[in-house]
């Protein structure tokens, strides 16, 4: 006999104004279950998860949580602003019987000390803190909304292993296929307000989903044909049988009503990149290029050749210098030494991973046409902006919608639409998969894999990398980068491991402890090192310096995000990009120094 559910949602209905997100949705979570909740962007997945967490009172339906069952919820945008330190935020999520040591151990595993100030955290660090808070109590049910967002590959693989080791019931929302394949045992598909359940993992989901949609199309086709037959009979059938006519007319009205009430399945994204004239055979040649920021070498003596048609993935942990290497290979950032040569006839288009180039006050149609009329030029041919919007799953009603009202996934699709409208033979994609739903990811994968030109790609999505790239440039530590043939899985097979965190690099650099002698003498106790006057002054002034550097980084990011800046002033753009990279490196160095001094202060205290 199956165990009774810990959590049960029945016939949930909820909406915002006239928009009905949930209409009869259900969710059942039994002890130890591993569920993946999937659906299109904007379908209501996060809303359903918030109802499950008890954060939203639905307009209809019931929620039941077993008495005594514990539940933790990881939201997409955690708010740490009410806490002075990260550890205070994490410990606040513990119950009376929970172990504070586990909270500190999880933070250490995630590369954090707990003494960090929330205001200085990056998006990835905030997500790590929120994960520690959710995992530390070892609850009966974990509700995780996009847990891999902002995480690098080492953190994603650590999280996979940690969740796999738990006996906790999981409900996951994620667009990371590999993550879902390894953790899910059942699927809940939220589609047009209702839920369907498959008692198999994500590896079987897409085939099942396609079968369901094909059956719907066949049923719709049969219904349409039946309506045509009924109309034909009414017009040309025997008119003497009045009662039968009336009954068949009523049946026809009922069939039409059924078709009107049927909610059509959402459309598919249609993507096609505008291709420019062919480039030369040699696209990029890098010879012994090196780049350092202060004492830290980010790229050390790297040489590589990229040929027309190559699709190259650049992988490494956060802070390793992936974007720096990408900018050097594309000529945006000059190396300190060595040389980068770009091939002839290059027409490059890039994708801004921060979406910073989007003016939130601009309308959707203006963002696509750049404010020039109502046409978009794709492959040199004019297209009406409404038709082009539909290719990327935007409705005509959204043409005048300000960009500030778009969801993260919609903003991602808009950036793709803008990039792919420009003629190119070199696509430069820095984290293009952020916030995209599974269907859009499918088509983006097909586009990149079939693109006739050359592709440079930075991504933490292992499945996306395996499906699209022909070679990998992987971070090896201490500024070294190595070429590997094949996709991400091929790289793992060749080197014996995936991408490692930067903390592992630091640990590897520590000298091995000397072997003990036969009769060792007792070593004198180590004297605690205190902070001298210079250290104390530095510790006091570093927070203000970090704040100023953060403001400078934000200002420079806004400058280089201007889509017209490069065309207007290439030299100024290169200078601004180099200044941005230097400011980011200085900020990282200041943060590391502040952490080192804080640890010394604690030891001395």
Nearest to 577 by CA among 298, 315, 330: 330
Nearest to 458 by CA among 288, 329, 279: 329
- DSSP result, 528-560: PP---HHHHHHHHHHHHHHHHHHHHHHHHHHHH
Question: 541 labelled as ligand-binding?
Answer: no
Nearest to 134 by CA among 82, 174, 76, 187: 76
Question: 323 labelled as ligand-binding?
Answer: yes
CB 396 within 8 A of CB 417: no
Question: 41 labelled as ligand-binding?
Answer: yes
Strand order in the sheet with 454-458: 348-351, 426-430, 454-458, 311-315, 471-477, 480-485
CB 154 within 8 A of CB 500: yes
Adjacent-strand bridge partners of 22: 14
Question: 350 labelled as ligand-binding?
Answer: no
Instruction: Count the Cβ atoms, other than its own, within 10 Å of residue 90.
Output: 27
User: What is the C-alpha radius of gyration for the chain, rounded to an integer number of angstroms?
Assistant: 28
CB 432 within 8 A of CB 461: no
| Backbone phi, psi, residue 250, to 5° | -60, -40
Question: 317 labelled as ligand-binding?
Answer: yes
How distant is the alpha carbon of residue 400 from its chain centre? 27
Question: 371 labelled as ligand-binding?
Answer: no
Question: 45 labelled as ligand-binding?
Answer: yes
Pairing of strands 282-293, 337-342: antiparallel
* Measured CA angle at 439 (ends 217, 128), to 5 deg: 145
Q: From start to end of 202-336, where are the E strands?
A: 282-293, 296-307, 311-315
Sign, CA torsion 139/158/127/457: negative
Question: 502 labelled as ligand-binding?
Answer: no
Distance between CA 197 and CA 188 in Å, rounded?
5
Question: 43 labelled as ligand-binding?
Answer: yes
Instruction: Count the Cβ atoms, other than its own, within 10 Å of residue 501.
Output: 21
Residue keyed to tokens 């008495």: 67
Residue keyed to tokens 């952490």: 595
**DSSP-derived 3-state class of residue 500:** coil
Question: 489 labelled as ligand-binding?
Answer: no
Task: Report which secondary-structure segment, H or E, holds 101.
Answer: helix 100-109
Cα pseudo-dihedral 288, 291, 296, 302, rounded to 10 = -30
Distance between CA 319 and CA 341 in Å, rounded?
26
CB 173 within 8 A of CB 46: yes
Question: 316 labelled as ligand-binding?
Answer: yes
Nearest to 561 by CA among 398, 457, 415: 415
Question: 42 labelled as ligand-binding?
Answer: yes
Known binding-site residues equal 39-46, 316-323
Known binding-site residues for ATP equal 39-46, 316-323
């Amino acid at each position: 006999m199956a165990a009774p559910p810990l959590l049960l949602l029945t016939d949930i209905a909820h909406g915002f104004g006239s928009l009905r997100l949930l209409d009869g949705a259900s969710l059942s979570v039994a002890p130890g279950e591993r569920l993946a909740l999937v659906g299109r962007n904007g379908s209501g997945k996060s809303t359903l998860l918030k109802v499950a967490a008890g954060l939203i009172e639905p307009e209809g339906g019931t929620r039941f949580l077993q008495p005594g069952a514990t539940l933790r919820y990881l939201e997409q945008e955690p708010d740490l602003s009410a806490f002075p330190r990260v550890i205070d935020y994490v410990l606040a999520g513990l119950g009376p019987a929970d172990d504070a040591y586990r909270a500190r151990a999880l933070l250490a595993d995630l590369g954090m000390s707990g003494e960090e100030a929330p205001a200085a955290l990056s998006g990835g660090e905030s997500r790590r803190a929120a994960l520690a808070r959710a995992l530390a109590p070892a609850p009966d049910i974990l509700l995780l909304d996009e847990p891999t967002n902002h995480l690098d590959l080492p953190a994603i693989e650590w999280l996979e292993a940690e969740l796999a080791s738990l006996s906790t019931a999981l409900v996951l929302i994620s667009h990371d296929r590999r993550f879902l394949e390894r953790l899910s045992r059942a699927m809940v598909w939220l589609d047009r307000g209702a839920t369907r359940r498959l008692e198999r993992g994500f590896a079987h989901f897409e085939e099942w989903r396609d079968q369901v949609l094909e059956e719907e199309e066949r049923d719709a086709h049969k219904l349409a044909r039946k309506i045509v037959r009924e109309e034909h009979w009414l017009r040309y059938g025997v008119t003497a049988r009045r009662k039968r006519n009336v009954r068949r007319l009523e049946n026809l009205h009922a069939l039409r009503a059924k078709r009107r009430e049927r909610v059509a399945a959402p459309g598919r994204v249609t993507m096609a990149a505008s291709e420019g004239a062919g480039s030369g055979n040699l696209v990029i040649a890098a010879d012994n290029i090196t780049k350092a920021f202060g004492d830290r070498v980010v790229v050390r003596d790297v040489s590589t050749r990229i040929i027309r048609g190559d699709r190259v993935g650049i992988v490494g942990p956060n802070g390793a210098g992936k974007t720096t290497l990408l900018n050097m290979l594309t000529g945006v950032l000059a190396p300190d030494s060595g040389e980068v040569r770009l091939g002839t006839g290059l027409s490059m288009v890039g994708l801004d991973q921060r979406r910073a180039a989007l003016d939130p006050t601009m309308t959707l149609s203006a963002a696509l046409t750049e404010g020039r009329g109502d046409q978009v030029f794709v492959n040199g041919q004019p297209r009406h902006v409404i038709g082009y919007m539909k290719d990327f799953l935007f409705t005509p009603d959204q043409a005048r919608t300000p960009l500030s009202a778009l969801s993260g996934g919609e903003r991602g699709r808009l950036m793709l639409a803008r990039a792919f409208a420009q003629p190119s033979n070199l696509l430069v994609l820095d984290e293009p998969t952020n916030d995209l739903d599974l269907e859009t990811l499918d088509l983006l994968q097909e586009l990149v894999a079939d693109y006739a030109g050359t592709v440079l790609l930075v991504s933490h999505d292992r499945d996306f990398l395996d499906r699209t790239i022909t070679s990998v440039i992987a971070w090896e530590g201490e500024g070294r980068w190595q070429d590997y043939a094949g996709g991400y899985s091929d790289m793992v097979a060749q080197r014996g491991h995936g991408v490692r965190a930067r903390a592992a690099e630091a640990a590897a650099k520590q000298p091995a402890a000397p072997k003990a002698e036969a009769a060792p003498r007792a070593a004198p106790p180590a004297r605690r090192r205190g902070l001298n006057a210079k250290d104390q002054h530095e510790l006091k002034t570093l927070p203000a310096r970090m704040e100023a550097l953060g403001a400078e980084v934000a200002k420079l990011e806004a400058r280089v995000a201007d889509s017209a800046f490069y065309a207007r002033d290439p030299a100024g753009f290169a200078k601004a990009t180099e200044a941005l990279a230097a400011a980011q490196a200085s900020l990282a160095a200041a943060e590391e120094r502040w952490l080192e001094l804080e640890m010394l202060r604690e030891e001395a205290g």
